[in-house]
Structure 1
């Protein structure tokens, strides 16, 4: 005897809200991809159709890759984001371990400062960071794009929450085996917190790959520009009012983020929910 499972109205409403929200988020990306394969004459038509009457994708993507150093912009983005994530993990993991598992004077005060730093927009620090970068001579270099992001309050907070879910008995056993505190961090805590590190890495890469404000004032050399700043230069110097190549360049810049998220979404969700267990 088969039974049919009834779906409650509240569940239908939730699913409908999720579908509508997802559609609203995807519409600009679908439009961007559609414009990237259209000839100039079809871009500003009153009626919208995703697939063009005349396919112009090869021409637009060829222009995006050849008329501006888009591969160089994307290399800059990959290099800068990779170094930032690596340095952030090296700095944030020990700091989070200290806040999660060690007892010392001022611990709560330091954690409160981390929480305060979470609510401060990074743009507030742009002027003092610019002056500091000028004084130490790192402006218009890769270091100018990396240095301001080495310490991540969000990374410290996320790792601390995940580390707190690890039983203290594991720490005590490692100390009895003669491991130092730093060895405990890198040999025990970090491997166990790999989902949190992957989730943080995705957040960090997306944030810095899409960053425009700080690179706009930190670098001027075109060979150092990350993708968003490079697209601005491409629009001003090459594309002009030809939005097909511009949308093609934007699609190429967004594609690595989508691929990376799809490949790591399992660990992304696990890393975000792991710190909420305790």
Structure 2
């Protein structure tokens, strides 16, 4: 193989990318390794990724039996899907109006969206908790979903994407007699699937992994989300059984990894196309 096939710049670039991938994959590799180790292997002085005794079956059996793993995953799916569906239903029309309709408050709304990106959930957690407590909304799917139904990040992402859609396409739809709702449903959304997929990955990952808000509003294990259930598993059941704990962590993170791999092409396409908008 000639030297021209792999020039030095390409070798350096691939080496840096491989090193970065290894750094990001290191925690997952450690989880996979620890999930197959016995307790004596985990607390040994030597560091080895290959278990001396293979305890995968025992550790995964403990993870599935000591907590209601099916209920945790079910709650995570329900909460993430409800949040995502409502966010898209609200964000798409808002972004369309700001991108394609002319009205006086457009600039003010854009400023509000940018300011909304700066407000973290931690700043509003206390008043939201008090409000849910007053209406008896704690320990419910409503408490887990309601604070996140409006996503300013989603509005901003879709806004950038919709600006690239030709105005002539929308004008043609109006000449055909479509109302604005019909244009959104039959013209905008079919062309926005890359952006919707990209946003879906961000939204699902954020809320699937969220521990802060469920820890505040949920005390009933029946409504526990995967991270909160993992916390219950570690504190109440497993003790120092880190092999079973890592097995539970692998079960909880696997749906996210699978979903990202399935949607990877759309995700990259959506991020690339959105990033090019002016």
Is residue 143 from structure 1 mapped to residue 142 from structure 2 by the alignment? yes
Aligned counterpart, 2:105: 106
- Once the two structures are superposed, residues 11-34 of structure 1 have per-residue CA deviations (whole angstroms, 9 ceiling, x without a partner) of 443332222221111111101111
CA distance in 1, matches of 2:134, 2:13: 54
Shift of 1:54: 1.3
- Once the two structures are superposed, residues 79-99 of structure 1 have per-residue CA deviations (whole angstroms, 9 ceiling, x without a partner) of 100111111110000000011
Shift of 1:230: 0.4
Aligned counterpart, 2:185: 186
Aligned counterpart, 1:211: 210
Aligned counterpart, 1:157: 156
Aligned counterpart, 2:245: 246
CA distance in 2, matches of 1:107, 1:69: 48
Aligned counterpart, 1:87: 86
CA distance in 2, matches of 1:277, 1:244: 45
Say which is worse superposed, 113-122 or 222-231, in terms of deviation: 113-122
Q: Match of 1:220, SS? A: coil
CA distance in 1, matches of 2:53, 2:44: 13
- In the superposition, the TM-score normalised over structure 2's length comes to 0.96
CA distance in 2, matches of 1:200, 1:28: 25
Q: How many residue pairs were aligned?
A: 277
Aligned counterpart, 1:174: 173
CA distance in 2, matches of 1:111, 1:12: 44
CA distance in 1, matches of 2:185, 2:135: 32
What are structure 2's unaligned runs of at least 5 residues?
none
CA distance in 2, matches of 1:182, 1:232: 44
CA distance in 1, matches of 2:233, 2:225: 12
CA distance in 2, matches of 1:268, 1:236: 36
CA distance in 2, matches of 1:38, 1:127: 41
Aligned counterpart, 1:23: 22
Q: Match of 2:254, SS? A: helix
Q: For the structure 1 residues 59 and 6, does the alpha-carbon distance in structure 2 shift closer, same or farther, using more than 3 Å as the test?
A: closer
Shift of 1:9: 4.4
What are structure 1's unaligned runs of at least 5 residues?
none
- Once the two structures are superposed, residues 140-192 of structure 1 have per-residue CA deviations (whole angstroms, 9 ceiling, x without a partner) of 10000000000001110111111111000011011111111111111110110
Shift of 1:6: 6.0
Say what the alpha-carbon RMSD is for the aligned residues: 1.5
Shift of 1:8: 5.1
CA distance in 2, matches of 1:99, 1:135: 35
CA distance in 2, matches of 1:244, 1:254: 15
CA distance in 2, matches of 1:133, 1:5: 65
Aligned counterpart, 1:64: 63
Aligned counterpart, 1:257: 256
Aligned counterpart, 2:124: 125
Shift of 1:42: 0.5
Q: Match of 1:275, SS? A: helix
Q: For the structure 1 residues 241 and 186, does the alpha-carbon distance in structure 2 shift closer, same or farther, using more than 3 Å as the test?
A: same
CA distance in 1, matches of 2:168, 2:274: 18
